[in-house]
Structure 1
Amino acid sequence: MSLGDVERVVAGLPGTEEVARHGARTWAVGGKAYAWVRPFSKADLKRFGDEAPPEGPILALAVEDLAEKEAVLAARAGDGFFTIPHFNGYAAVLVQLDKVSEGVLMEALLDAWLVHAPAAVAKAHLEGR
């Protein structure tokens, strides 16, 4: 998958706005970010040590809470989902786009959007699917 695929999916999620946050492309709903491009910082790269960091575009996705984060990581580790020390204690996961399938990416973006979408907007969207 690619950032173009992300753009296509989020275009179908009502109330989504693209903004820049910390210089990175970010998609938000209700004023809150639910997905953003997450390049590795120098500190992130240092923490990988001798291990090669995941390649390609990396997307960060909001999750409901830390329990949901652990569940997503356990269920989707083979699908390119992972975390890094910088995200410890933060309700978000990272996705290596070139390892995730279209269906999994679509589901993950919808789930991330639902974290912050206003209830009425989310209900209307889900009923219209």
Structure 2
Amino acid sequence: MATWDDVRRIALSLPETTEKPSYDGLPAWKVRDKGFVWERPLRRADLEALGDAAPAGPILGARVPDLGAREALLADDPAVYFTTPHLDGYPAVLVRLARIDTDELTELITEAWYARAPKRLAAAHRAGPPAG
């Protein structure tokens, strides 16, 4: 079970990441002012759309590279990943934080970071530290 402390630790370990409150005052993590993961409680419209399937507990929003990646995550593990009509057509998923392990969370957050980081910064991170 992952926690907000895990999200914070993983996100802030990535280059040039900052934690800044989102427009609604909730935690959000950004790379050069582009959000890649954020706390995303369900809103009234979300609850109405999801009905009995609406999860309880903490919800993480995460960017994904594209809509294909989004659909793959939603299909692969619907116990962890879900969406709402509000996110239709948007490359992001919602995550039941209590149902994701920290290894998968690390992969998700890192991929979200790559989806939003400038190309040169992402390439430098993928290359790793300089040899020597």
Q: TM-score, normalising length from structure 2?
A: 0.88
Unaligned runs of 5+ in 1: none
CA RMSD of superposed structures (Å): 1.5
Q: In structure 1, how many angstroms separate the alpha carbons of the residues matched to 2:92 and 2:53?
A: 22
Runs of 4+ in 1 over 6 A off after TM superposition: none
Q: How many angstroms does 1:60 deviate by?
A: 0.4
Contact 2:64–2:70 (CA under 8 A) maintained in structure 1: yes
**Aligned partner of 1:43 among 39, 42, 45:** 45
Residue number in structure 2 paired with 1:16: 17
Q: In structure 2, how many angstroms separate the alpha carbons of the residues matched to 1:22 and 1:42?
A: 17
User: Aligned pair 1:28/2:30, yes or no?
Assistant: yes
Q: How many angstroms does 1:52 deviate by?
A: 4.6
Q: In structure 1, how many angstroms separate the alpha carbons of the residues matched to 2:54 and 2:86?
A: 14
Contact 2:36–2:113 (CA under 8 A) maintained in structure 1: yes
Residue number in structure 1 paired with 2:55: 54
Across the two proteins, how many residue pairs are aligned to each other?
127
SS of the residue corresponding to residue 35 of structure 1 reads strand
Q: Percent identity?
A: 40
1:50-129 pair list within 5 angstroms? 51-78=52-79, 80-128=80-128
Unaligned runs of 5+ in 2: none
SS of the residue corresponding to residue 22 of structure 1 reads coil
Over residues 13-42 of structure 1, what are the superposed CA-to-partner deviations in whole Å (9 max), with x where a residue is unaligned?
A: 001111122222111112211001000111
